[in-house]
Structure 1
Amino acid sequence: MDNSKSLEQFARDAYSDGEEAVVELVVSPALKLKEEKHRRSQNSTNSSFPSSGDLASKKKNNSRKETDRKSGGQPGHKGCTLNQVPNPDTTVKCSPESCECGHTFDGSEEFIDSIRRQVFDIPKPVVTVAEYVSEKYRCPVCGEIHAGDFPAGVTASAQYGNNIQASVVSMMNYQLLPYKRTAEMFENLFSIGISEGTLRNI
């Protein structure tokens, strides 16, 4: 095929040469593409090609540049090692109960030494309910009745607080959790049954 000719010129030449030339012009490239695709799909399991060719066809170039740095943390990198704290929230003393000789320890014995181990954990999430009561009083001077104002944002008889609403927004907009999984998470962690409709309105 002469590459100097345009596609339009090839089509005109084929048209002038007759029906068979037009068919050849259209079908030939499609057949070549099909043969090339078939050739690329061949391997040792579906053809007579040796298995060594399978590895060559699957091998990919590693675009990662080689450096002299070793794998793992680099010099100067600030680690996140868990260390003990001087003032833990709770301390549980593990004292020996008895000796092989039959003596039972009661704390009056000579103290020798102790070993400290600390466990960092998150307390079980607990939902707290704050109740606001608007009290009404009658003025003793004029007799007019006055009611206390609810805090700003407290507008319903029962509603979710700012922390729960902020958690919903974070999980759905930042963590990208769908409505159903967000509702399931609140049920599992906090025993709060939030409907998907409520989540859409927060």
Structure 2
Amino acid sequence: MKLDHLTPEILSEFSKPELIDLVMGLVAQVGILQDQVDQLKEQNAALVQRVSDLERRLGLNSSNSGKPPSSDGLAKPPAKKEKRTKSLRGKSGRKSGGQPGHPGKTLRQVETPDEIVDHFPSQCPACQGVFSLGASEGFATRQVFDLPPPPPLFVTEHRAHTCRCEGCGAMLRADFPDRVTAPTQYGDEIATRAAYLQTQHCLPEDRLARIFSDLYKIKITPATLAAHALLLIPQSYPARDGAR
């Protein structure tokens, strides 16, 4: 049945089960259309990244990349004359490096470490007895400051429920959050870190993908990282404080 042929007069002749079937069919069609819209959004993001990559490559030459000068052809940029500068500061007579009285940044032991590892003598040389915490008469401490191992990926499942109104029987489906656009996807935290590393530290896409693989055990393609970073570049700057 074509929806544009439905009029209030025709709908008034439908029974309640027929109206319910009609509404359920419309809900299913809306879900299909929403999935198609989500797919088009992903394709559009990939195309935008592709155009950005091509524009960036067109602007590369021997002066701003690792390309040899022979590859510039007729578009070779003019050579820049380097200006020789001379420092106006005179010699102070002091040795280079930190000066006496300069506050340092030496590590200092903390009162509440995250983990304590006890070490005991392996064996008594006199009677071959073993030692435990109960035999301790005191201890010396040394602390090692290190990064914790990367945690596994945190997976959040979003469920958009379809509910029936108890008052009128209408069927309604909840909306997913704006940034949840696919059945499976990476979250904003990964995208924000990728955008920060790519824009602030000028990391190429393939090296960025290797960093996420080596440090976080996340197997993600360079194109996917670039597409996510492109969407979140304006939001990447606050991530500097968390990533440092």
Q: 2:222 aligns with which of 196, 199, 202?
A: 196
Distance 1:114-1:65 versus aligned 2 partners, 3 A rule: same
- In structure 2, the gaps of 5 or more residues are 1-85, 230-244
C-alpha distance in structure 2 between counterparts of 1:75 and 1:162, whole Å: 47
| Higher-RCO chain (CA-CA 8 Å, sequence separation at least 6) | 2
| Aligned pairs, number | 140
Moved more, 170-179 or 187-196: 187-196
Match of 2:147 in 1: 122
How far the C-alpha of 1:177 sits from its partner, in A, is 0.9
Match of 1:88 in 2: 113
% identity of equivalent residues? 40
Distance 1:183-1:106 versus aligned 2 partners, 3 A rule: closer
Match of 1:159 in 2: 185
2:158 is aligned with what amino acid? Y
TM-score using structure 1 length:
0.59
**Are 2:126 and 1:98 equivalent residues in the alignment?**
no
RMSD of aligned Cα (Å): 2.5
Distance 1:153-1:112 versus aligned 2 partners, 3 A rule: same
How far the C-alpha of 1:68 sits from its partner, in A, is 2.2
C-alpha distance in structure 2 between counterparts of 1:140 and 1:97, whole Å: 73
- In structure 1, the gaps of 5 or more residues are 1-61
Match of 1:73 in 2: 98
TM-score using structure 2 length:
0.50
Structure whose residues are more often helix by fraction: 2
C-alpha distance in structure 1 between counterparts of 2:102 and 2:178, whole Å: 47
C-alpha distance in structure 2 between counterparts of 1:199 and 1:160, whole Å: 9
How far the C-alpha of 1:131 sits from its partner, in A, is 1.9
Q: Which structure has the bigger radius of gyration?
A: 1
Q: Deviations over 1:164-202 (max 9, x none)?
A: 111111111111111121122112222223323223322
Distance 1:108-1:199 versus aligned 2 partners, 3 A rule: closer
Match of 2:39 in 1: none
